Amino acid sequence: MNRGPSIGEYLIQRLSAHGVRHVFGIPGDYVLGFYDQLLQSDLKTIVTCDEQGAGFAADGYARVHGLGVVCITYCVGGLKVMNPVAGAFAEKSPVVVISGAPGLNERDKNPLLHHKVRDFDTQRRVFEHITVASAALEDPDTAFSEIDRVLHAAVRYKRPVYLELPRDLVEVPGRPDHRSRDLHETSDPLVLAEALSEATALLNAAQQPVILADVEVHRFGLQEELLKLAEKTGIPVAATILGKSVLAEQHPLYLGVYEGAMGRDDVREYVEKSDCVLMLGAFMTDINTGIYTAKLDPAKSISATSERLAIRHHTFENVRFKDFVRGLIAADLRAHEAPNRPRPPQPREFVPGRQGEKVTIARLFERVNEYLGDSSIVVADVGNALFGASDLLIRHRTEFLGPAYYASMGFAVPAALGAQMARPDLRPLVLVGDGAFQMTGMELSTIARFGLNPVVIVLNNNGYGTERHIHDGPFNDVLAWKYHKLPEVFGQGRGFLVETEEQLDAALDAAAKHTESFCILDVHLDPMDRSAALARLAERLAERLGKKKL
């Protein structure tokens, strides 16, 4: 009689069934048995330089692919991955955290085993606060059903989950008949019908409706539905900075990024003058709303997310986000015209200035906009890298990644690793400040090891540029690295020192042609240079802190 799968084998089977093809992480003795099982499976293990890098890589993978996995050892690995997981929770990215743990047979009399912090369940209890579901797989009778329940929660809520696997249970068979049943959820049909009726009446009565699309459209794979809704109704679409690239930005119905007073004035005025704003999957965070400078009247709004549906001041329970969006497409909505809607500025030919002209942030992003092509995906870190990129023209949907809510530095380089593993047909263009690069930039080593080819632009302004514009001091300085020399360290890749516009133009031309490995551009900028969006953001934050504006 053939035995059923072990707990570890079943977990791998379920990950594969959800479309996962790569697992990021760093091994340790408590998880080595499971790593052995991964090696025997179809899943490819991507060992990174550090657990934080593995977490950001899994997050980037999840944002592009739909589900990401990070696998680490107990406490020394698990607690290091908490920051990326917290960011994934905040920004609704479904990352599965798999942690090894001491075996149950090792825990008698509460011994002081290595990596243990306080109690054997300390790590699990910590992760309960930054995941939507968690389980310690300590009972073979329930392990399969717990795996199903937790993975379902990751897919249902688009947030991280946590699974802890004691090392002496990895090879233990579970009960094949003990699995979760009927996990599918549906909307209450009567409530859904009433919500659609009210939303349809409000949209049909509007003279200047607008759709504000955000991150959940990405996470729930509703980009095609958004496009159908916009084209059926003629209602133009604005995105938030967190939801940027939710619609191909060359589409005639795309307005640009709406972010209150931080964004372009023409987009802000159009959205705020709308008599019906249909907000789809929108997070009204401080950065999305331009530090709360957005002026959106709830009495003229329809707000649909995975957690809540509100139409004006009415709320509707038990309505699934997907069902509502698809219901709108099928509804009897009239066609609208918006002849005076704004359009995002189109890239223009970059002509270097006079010989020796120093690069500025504004000119850097002009040249980057010209560089972007159909196979580009932009991955931006926080600061000028993110805010300067808000007006880049992204050719296709879901091809812009940035931590525009949680705002953790160090996201971009490892997230680009995950994104290119998920979509090898795309070449990442990474925008990262020098301070953020010094946190996680060594994942370029992992990128080199696996033969990936992102183009990494380091905005080298000698420190934490965003902080300088809020409150400056020597604490914002970092050691000057020769970033363009890193290919010599790794033994592959190409590096470029960029100080002038001519050097920038030539470097991006050369990087576009060099596709066999990564390229890194060390772009020297004045420490006080800043994008227009960052200037507005810093001014608002400085006001809140009671600091002098810079």
| Domain regions of the chain by residue span | 7-166, 189-330, 361-545
Determine the Cα–Cα distance for residues 439 and 452; give it in Å rounded to an integer: 20
466's tokens: 């965003």
- DSSP E strands: which ranges in 252-334? 254-257, 276-280, 301-304, 309-311, 314-316
* Cβ burial, residue 252 (10 Å; 0-12/13-18/19+): exposed
Kindly give the pairing relationship between strand 95-101 and strand 133-136: unpaired
Task: Judge: domain 189-330, CATH 3.40.50.720.
Answer: no
CATH topology match: 7-166 vs 189-330: yes
Element housing 239 (H / E):
strand 237-239
Q: Looking at residue 262, what is its pLDDT?
A: 79
Single-letter residue type at 509: D
The span from the CA of 210 to the CA of 212, in Å, is 7
Burial of 28 (C-beta count, 10 Å sphere; 0-12/13-18/19+) = buried
Q: What contacts 464, CB < 8 A, 6 or more positions away?
A: 383, 433, 435, 476, 478
**CATH architecture of the region 361-545:** 3-Layer(aba) Sandwich (3.40)
For 373, half-sphere exposure in the C-beta direction (CA atoms, 13 angstrom radius) is 11
What is the distance between the alpha carbons of residues 413 and 419, in angstroms, rounded to a whole number? 10
CA 508 to chain centre: 25
> So what's the pLDDT on residue 211?
97
How buried is residue 131: exposed, middle or buried, by Cβ count under 10 Å (0-12/13-18/19+)?
buried
Q: Are strands 400-401 and 133-136 parallel, antiparallel or unpaired?
A: unpaired
- Return the H-helix or E-strand segment holding 47: strand 44-47
- In the sheet where 494-498 sits, what is the strand order? 400-401, 376-380, 427-433, 455-460, 519-524, 494-498
- Which residue type is seen at 498? V
Q: What is the pLDDT along the chain (550 residues), one digit of tens a residue?
A: 457 899 999 999 999 999 999 999 999 999 999 999 999 999 999 999 999 999 999 999 999 999 999 999 999 999 999 999 999 999 999 999 999 999 889 888 788 888 888 888 999 999 999 999 999 999 999 999 999 999 999 999 999 999 999 999 999 999 877 655 556 678 999 999 999 999 999 999 999 999 999 999 999 999 999 999 999 999 999 999 999 999 988 899 999 999 887 788 899 999 999 999 999 999 888 887 877 778 889 999 999 999 899 999 999 999 999 999 999 999 999 999 888 888 888 888 899 988 999 999 999 999 999 999 889 999 999 988 998 888 888 877 768 999 998 989 999 999 999 999 999 999 999 999 999 999 999 999 999 999 999 999 999 998 888 788 778 889 888 999 999 999 999 999 999 999 999 999 999 999 999 999 999 999 999 988 888 777 766 666 666 666 554 4
Tell me which CATH homologous superfamily contains domain 7-166.
Thiamin diphosphate (ThDP)-binding fold, Pyr/PP domains (3.40.50.970)
Whole-number Å distance between alpha carbons of 135 and 467: 39
Identify the pLDDT of residue 442. Answer: 95
Measured distance CA(43)–CA(9) in Å, rounded: 12
Provide the H-helix boundaries in 179-222. 189-205, 215-219
Angle, CA 412 vertex, CA 410 and CA 417 arms, to 5°: 115
3-class SS string, 80-146: HHHHHHHHHHHCCCCEEEEEEECCHHHCCCCCCCCCCCCCCCHHHHHHCCCCCEEEECCCCCCHHHH
- Specify the pLDDT at position 51: 97
Number of helices (H) and strands (E) in the chain: give both, helices first: 20, 19
C-alpha distances (whole Å) from 424 to each of 166, 344, 376, 377 are 34, 28, 11, 11
Find, among 408, 429, 103, the residue nearest to 245 by Cα: 429
> What distance in Å separates the CA atoms of residue 6 and residue 303, rounded to the nearest whole number?
44
